[in-house]
Structure 1
Amino acid sequence: MTEQILLSICIVSYNVREYLEICIDSILEHASNIKHEIIVVDNNSKDNTKELFSAKYTGIKFIASDKNLGFAVANNIAIKESQGQYIILLNPDTKICNNSLQNLIACLKQHPECGVVGPQLLNKNDSLQNGLREFPRLSNALIRNSWLKHIPFFKKRIDKYHMRNFDLTKSGYVDQVSGAAMMFSKATLQKIGLLDEMFFIFFEEVDFCKRVRDAGLKVFYFPQSQIYHWGGKSREQDECKIKLIYLESLLKYLRKHHKQYKYLIFIILFKPLYLLSFFLNFISTGLILLFFKIFSLFNNRILLSRRYVKKVNQFNFYKFFIKNKLFQFIVKF
């Protein structure tokens, strides 16, 4: 009799071959004592990711898309292919250590009230990475995306949303865990459904956790399981586009999970505040770049600094938004 697969590991990749290889090697090293399968869906990478699987990982299920499907759609493809009793959605820029997967499975078995469990995330230097958040609410979305975030009174609200006072060394129930590593059972999936494909990237895991909570289940943070997460390697490749997708996904989430009249009031307030902050930042960033250019006449090495590069990227985003998305933002959202 064939042993049933206990865990399905679903990974979506996009031009992160180097990190994906580290991720898979760590799984093969630390998950050999549990019956598992690895399913990789590649979003049309141009870095020879496909060749990696034909040469090195021939036993892993690899699904190549001819276009970038986004995170939710690609993960749903992997989930539909999965046969495990438990499923973990794992980012390609993660690294498994010791018994992290086994501990997450044990946690779900010990806590049947939990629909989702997430591990403690570690940065490359072993420091703790806070991937926990409260659910986005209309008020904190308004504050975080406008000049209001600079007012001390409102900074407390932002800290609360980011759960900065939460002790990351202790387990507990939370609103949401990071989508970098999120485990749930097939039973939860049958009750909640797949990821909402309305979200291309961002907030699909938040929406999933919200639906878990709405169904009467819990979301659990479990630091006895640790996973390294380099963070956002796929998203670094097109910063302008990613910032816009983040904004679109945030508004889609808020529209989905709030009453229509409340969302309408929010959007009436949000648009002018967001645009005011946007143009103030656009002007200030332009002035800072002008000063950089002036100082570079005396020391051109300043143009190689990280701060200058960051400001250039910000300014490029502002120009891209004005040229391509400003009218759409005013009219459509």
Structure 2
Amino acid sequence: MDIETTPQDGASRLKLVVVIVNYRTADLTIDCLASLSVPGTVPDGTRIIAVEGGSGDRSAELISAAIRENRWTNAVCLPLETNGGFAYGNNRGIEYAMANFGRPDYVLLLNPDTIARPGSIARLVEFMDGKPDAGIAGSRLEHPDGKGQACAFRFPSLANEFESEAKLGPVTRLLGRWRVAPDMPREPSTIDWVSGASLMFRTEVLEQIGMLDEGYFLYYEEVDFCMRAARAGWSCWHVPQSRIIHLVGQSTGVTRHVKPSRRPAYWFESRRRYHLKHHGALYSALADLSWLCGHLAWRIRLFAEGKTSSGPPHLLLDFIRHSGPFRRV
């Protein structure tokens, strides 16, 4: 497929590149592109790369047709032959943008199952412009009715591996300072990591720590990226003034239904990769034990209260199968 390219004029610095990775969600990607076309939503001159991640369907054709028909001249569709995952697709989009349009000030990773509210991306850029020490910033993610979603988090730890599974009021209060998703204020605030559904970073960060780790197929790649940036001295921020509608799970299928679907093997593999990479084998084993103890505590509570689980089916079995010493080689 031919892709129209117009290299950036050297006299005008490229402010922002937006990368959207599509996998069998062409309709969602087109809606996302349409939201970015609303005047004032992105800075003037922004380039948008819709990466078609080897869907094996008509996604590339449909997205390219929508770009032409709507005259979204700042957007292109980049079809890939391989579905290499979230990091792989975003890296290819970033490489394409830099090769064809030059180095931007910022790159925004945006999920296809998002709708940018008017002005939302421009506000994130304005924040970054005014905060030179901020390497990464994430938007407030919300449902269509405006209700907020968890989108800014603390790094995984032994304490929050237990707390996030136990779901016990006293435990949550006791371990509140380590809770994965803290209550966020209404003003911009520092946080360990932000959701990859709308994550902006300076290209200086990319030049210092490297691209997204393609060893993660899906999940934990943004946690890894934010951890590497933090260790390099960059701060990460949650910016609630940048409001993005997130149609939760529509791009992955993992949480799109009322009852969550079975958690895929690559979630467990990504979690294990993160712990091993950043903390080593002993810590990884302790994290598995902490998660397991928390999950069993939650199951005991459900049994005592006569309730059934509303979480992903076969979660305990899948955890044992894919994690720690029980993992199949």
Match of 1:181 in 2: 198
Match of 1:253 in 2: 274
Match of 1:144 in 2: 164
| Mapped contact 1:144–1:158 kept (Cα < 8 A) | no
The equivalences for 1:114-263 within 5 A come to 114-145=134-165, 149-156=166-173, 157=175, 160-167=178-185, 169-236=186-253, 242-263=263-284
Task: Tell me, yes or no, if structure 1 residue 10 matches structure 2 residue 12.
Answer: no
Aligned-partner residue type, residue 14 of structure 1: Y
| Mapped contact 1:87–1:184 kept (Cα < 8 A) | yes
Offset, 1:274: 7.9
Deviations 1:231-258 (A, max 9, x none): 2112216976644322221221112221
Q: 1:85 aligns with which of 101, 105, 111?
A: 105
Pair 8,327 (structure 1): closer, same or farther in 2 beyond 3 Å: closer
Aligned-partner residue type, residue 256 of structure 1: K
Q: 1:36 aligns with which of 46, 50, 54?
A: 46
Deviations 1:313-333 (A, max 9, x none): 725x778x49x9469971448
Deviations 1:138-194 (A, max 9, x none): 23224434xxx0444323337842334332x22111111111101111112111211
Deviations 1:262-298 (A, max 9, x none): 334444x3586489679x69x97xx989xxxxxxxxx
Distance 1:327 1:135 in 2: 19
Query: What is the alpha-carbon root mean square deviation over aligned residues?
Result: 3.3
Task: Tell me, yes or no, if structure 1 residue 24 matches structure 2 residue 33.
Answer: yes
| Mapped contact 1:133–1:177 kept (Cα < 8 A) | yes
Task: Tell me, yes or no, if structure 1 residue 71 matches structure 2 residue 91.
Answer: no
Query: Does the residue aligned with 1:81 lie in a helix, a strand or coil?
Result: helix
Offset, 1:198: 1.5
Match of 1:314 in 2: 313
| Mapped contact 2:35–2:115 kept (Cα < 8 A) | yes
Offset, 1:261: 3.4
| Runs of 5+ unmatched residues, structure 2 | 1-8, 99-103
Deviations 1:88-135 (A, max 9, x none): 000011111222221111111111111001122221111122211110
| Mapped contact 2:136–2:235 kept (Cα < 8 A) | yes
| Mapped contact 1:138–1:263 kept (Cα < 8 A) | no
| Runs of 5+ unmatched residues, structure 1 | 290-306
Higher fraction of helix: 1
| Mapped contact 1:138–1:254 kept (Cα < 8 A) | no
Aligned-partner residue type, residue 102 of structure 1: A
Pair 40,93 (structure 1): closer, same or farther in 2 beyond 3 Å: same
Pair 122,270 (structure 1): closer, same or farther in 2 beyond 3 Å: closer
| Mapped contact 2:189–2:239 kept (Cα < 8 A) | yes
Q: 2:326 aligns with which of 326, 330, 333?
A: 330
Percent identical residues = 26
Distance 1:265 1:314 in 2: 24
User: What stretches of structure 1 move > 6 A for 4+ residues in a row?
Assistant: 326-329
Match of 1:303 in 2: none
| Mapped contact 2:113–2:246 kept (Cα < 8 A) | yes
Question: Looking at CA atoms only, which structure, 1 or 2, has the larger radius of gyration?
Answer: 1
The equivalences for 1:240-319 within 5 A come to 242-267=263-288, 269-270=289-290, 273=293, 314=313
Query: Does the residue aligned with 2:153 lie in a helix, a strand or coil?
Result: coil
Offset, 1:79: 1.3
